[in-house]
Amino acid sequence: MSAALANWLPPWLRHYQRSLLAGDISAGLIVTLLLVPQGLAYALVAGLPPQTGLYASLLPLVLYAFSGRSHAQSVGPMAVTALLVAATLSRLAAAGSDDYLLAAIWLALLSGAMLLLFGLLRLGFLADALSQPVLAGFTSGSALLIVVSQLAPLAGFRASGASLPDIAAAFFRHAAAFNPLAFGVGLGGLLFLVLARRYFARLLLACGFAANVARTLSRTAPMLLVLGGLLLVSQAQWQTLLPVVGVVPGGLPHLQLAALPSTGLAPLVMPAFFIALINYVQSLSVAQMLAAPRRENIDPDRELVALGLCNLGAGLSGGFPVTGGLTRSVVNADAGANTQLASLITAALMVLLLSTSTALLADLPLSLLAATIIASVAVMVDFGALRAAWRTERADAVAFAVTFLLVLALGVDAGIVAGVVMSLSVWLMRSSRPHIAVLGRVPGTEHFRNVTRYHTEPLPGVLLLRVDESLFFGNARHVGDSILQLVAVSDKHSLLLVMSAVNRLDMTALTMLERLDETLAERGVTLHLAEVKGPVLDVCKRSGLAARFGGRLHLSTHIAIQQLCPSLDYHI
């Protein structure tokens, strides 16, 4: 192998050892058994043909294996992403239309292109745009919405909607189509999955399997249910008595750039951005969680690029947006995945399934798929974070609750926008009211301290203030107003602002300082600055503020006070 080629290969492949193979093969197999029902089910959630879920489970796995760095990350369809796709498309195209499918594919292409671009621009910090309570509220709300949206398919009829009121209204409007047989099968399936979660692993343990093998094998319950359902329907000849998946076209997806939907791409751009954001936050969290015990180093920018390629791959092969799923990746790791070879094996098995066996899936009852979705997302509804936040920091608890309720009331797409705004708001509220101290001189020294905490001497004619926070758009207005109020109640002719705690200054804060200077000048008060830090001084120089202040910029508070209060005693 040439050195140039070797450099392009991912590290796991360059240093692959045969001892890793058994684990990778077993993980590849187990994940396939989980991925097939998940792919079909999440296509159902997204309102798309079943094969699109399988298409989305193929190329992205291969692309991640060569571009990502997590050893066990399993990229593919995810419940919340599927719901986001459905919510976006329900406003743009009729369910089942060509436009609906094209728009879903373009959501994958656009969000992939964005992720790739953000990665190349090294914008990995974007994962930090959502605070943890907001993300928890969003996840819980989305999971509950998915559970509710699957109640109609569980009962054998169709009723879709983007928000809780929509779904409830659609449910009751179509409830006459209730199918007792489908509901019985679905309920039975749900019961099986609930029991399997509690007892399957213990049963396998009792049969003599090792603990980790038993736990891993127990995760194949959804596939067992799918196989059982197929057998039942074909034996009982129920194909026409309850809604089934129907013909799943076989063969591999064509690699092609899809035609544009008739709406154009403009209405897809913002949804694609938010899908990209949620998928990235989700996938990065999974990668970092898996990396921690192995001391892997996950680079957020590289993961952005990898997830971008995966989504471009999903879109080019006729799938919808994908991300690293928590459940599937944990199963992958538990089942022994040592390297991304496991995902390549899964991809190979998906190729095999698509080439040979999709016809077998036609009889699968939709109510069973609904049961697997409900069982897998119901555990994501988690109020533990809400309780913890309520005890610790009320504002975070409110952010959780508001995001949760907005997702239910308005749908998952509005919920994610609200979530970002909410994260920002809670933070803005906390940092928009920084502490401003009035300082005096500690008698006979060069030290200046808060007059309410220390014994200080007054400074004739000079009001001395210190702002304990960086100045930026979030607090510039409040700081400016507060300073003017402090000046209004004093009778000093000079204001000295101590900038020692100001680490950064943005355009909004610069404008505030300029206006403050003007307003103070009108009122006969001269503004001086002292102890401006290096980076802040650079910004002041570039903007022209430094030139404007000229001799009113002082190196230290002591030097400034010496100049402004010559009458004070400086002989210590």
Q: Which of residues 166 and 363 has its CB atom nearest to its own copies in the complex?
A: 166
From candidates 194, 362, 417, 546, binder to its own copies by CB under 8 A: 417
CB 472 within 8 A of CB 443: no
In terms of Cα–Cα distance, which of 125, 131, 144 is closest to 418? 131
Q: Which of residues 334 and 506 has its CB atom nearest to its own copies in the complex?
A: 506
Burial class of residue 263, CB neighbours in 10 A (0-12, 13-18, 19+) = middle
Q: Which stretch binds its own copies (CB under 8 A): 14-22, 240-248, 368-376, 392-400?
A: 392-400
CB 77 within 8 A of CB 49: no
432 is a contact residue toward its own copies (CB under 8 A) = yes
How far is it, in rounded angstroms, from Cα 427 to Cα 211? 45
Q: Which of residues 219 and 466 has its CB atom nearest to its own copies in the complex?
A: 466
For strands 323-324 and 436-441, give the pairing: unpaired
482 is a contact residue toward its own copies (CB under 8 A) = no
Mapping DSSP to helix (H, G, I), strand (E, B) and coil, where does residue 505 land?
strand
From candidates 224, 539, 546, 568, binder to its own copies by CB under 8 A: 539
From candidates 28, 53, 119, 133, binder to its own copies by CB under 8 A: 133
Q: What mask of x and - would describe binding to its own copies in positions 141 to 180, judged by CB under 8 A?
A: ---------------------xx-xx--------------
262 is a contact residue toward its own copies (CB under 8 A) = no
DSSP string, 231-258: HHHHHHT-TTTS-B------SPPP--PP
Q: Which of residues 53 and 300 has its CB atom nearest to its own copies in the complex?
A: 300
CA-based angle 184:154:362, to the nearest 5?
A: 90
Element (H, E) at 436: strand 436-441
Supply the minimum distance, in Å, between the C-beta of residue 244 and its own copies. Answer: 33
By CB under 8 A, what part of segment 489-528 binds its own copies? 503-504, 506-508, 510-511, 515, 519, 522-523
From candidates 9, 14, 22, 91, binder to its own copies by CB under 8 A: 91
Q: Which of residues 68 and 156 has its CB atom nearest to its own copies in the complex?
A: 68
How far is it, in rounded angstroms, from Cα 275 to Cα 75? 15
Q: What mask of x and - would describe binding to its own copies in positions 27 to 66, judged by CB under 8 A?
A: ----------------------------------------
From candidates 255, 392, 447, 521, binder to its own copies by CB under 8 A: 392
Q: Which of residues 28 and 434 has its CB atom nearest to its own copies in the complex?
A: 434
How far is it, in rounded angstroms, from Cα 124 to Cα 223? 36
Residues sharing a CB contact under 8 Å with residue 526, sequence separation 6 or more, in sequence order? 493, 494, 495, 520, 552
264 is a contact residue toward its own copies (CB under 8 A) = yes
Q: Which stretch binds its own copies (CB under 8 A): 32-40, 81-89, 108-116, 411-419?
A: 411-419
For strands 553-554 and 526-530, give the pairing: parallel
Q: Which stretch binds its own copies (CB under 8 A): 36-44, 244-252, 429-437, 524-532?
A: 429-437
Q: How many CB atoms lie within 10 A of CB 104?
A: 31
89 is a contact residue toward its own copies (CB under 8 A) = no
CB 67 within 8 A of CB 305: yes
Q: Which of residues 346 and 423 has its CB atom nearest to its own copies in the complex?
A: 423
Across the beta sheet with 526-530, the strand order is 448-450, 436-441, 462-467, 494-498, 526-530, 553-554
Q: Which stretch binds its own copies (CB under 8 A): 61-69, 118-126, 143-151, 199-207?
A: 118-126
Q: Which of residues 491 and 522 has its CB atom nearest to its own copies in the complex?
A: 522
By CB under 8 A, what part of segment 221-250 binds its own copies? none
